[in-house]
Amino acid sequence: MTTPIDIREEAGVRTLHFGSEWIQGAMRLSRPWNLELEYTREMMASLLLRDAPRKVLLIGLGAASLTKFLYRHYPLAHLTVVEIEPAVVAAARQFFKLPEDPRRVHLVLGDGAEYIAGNKKKFDLILVDGYDENARSGALETLPFYLACRARLSGDGIMAANLLTSSRSFETTVERIARAFDDRMLVLPSCESGNAIAFAAAGNAIEASFDELKETALALKEKTGLNLLPTLTRLAQARTCLNNQLVL
């Protein structure tokens, strides 16, 4: 079944919808490379944990916000984007300025869970943000999928997944991520939209004080304009962060 695509504009912001009021992506027309939605900015908190990813896998294209941000600010990064719905790709190209650069952006039309299960490539960063018009992510919230993500991460790899706290499967999904990554994960407190971002790590341990993270956040803000200081405050509330120290 083809996903119904609906493009809207209000107060200088263009939004992507799958035939409902729920926003699947957004772009401010005057700043098309910025991350308009709070949850997309929080997904980029992964850059505080492992900076300068060279190989990135994005599962779910949406309005191409994360793709554009990484493309613009990390010129050495190669981005693989897996999107199951052709209409979403067409909308991202026509309405949301998806970069047309096959040297750096490898667009795969297909199922994200199947792609990662059948692939042997390693990625420094895996971003999971795939939902249908009914706010369901199907195989993208299963234990086999998260185990496959872990297997595909490099030694310094990070996975960031967008979860919906309103979903009945939210707690179960968090437990599956924790199980797949041997509890090396944390979930940010939910933002106003009800999105909660989960981070999980494989390989080398992550240990950083909040002073160090703040220093990294300030450098990232200067480089990209992305202000993650509010996210750092939220990160301090996560149970993984004890004694002003993040361990993952």
Residues marked active site are found at 129
What number of other Cβ atoms are within 10 A of residue 117's Cβ?
16
Amino acid at the residue 157:
G
CB 62 within 8 A of CB 68: no
CB 51 within 8 A of CB 43: no
HSE toward the beta carbon, residue 241, CA cutoff 13 A: 21
What number of other Cβ atoms are within 10 A of residue 207's Cβ?
10
Q: For residue 128, which of 160, 167, 171 has the smallest C-alpha distance?
A: 160
Burial tier of 96 (Cβ tally within 10 Å: 0-12, 13-18, 19+): buried
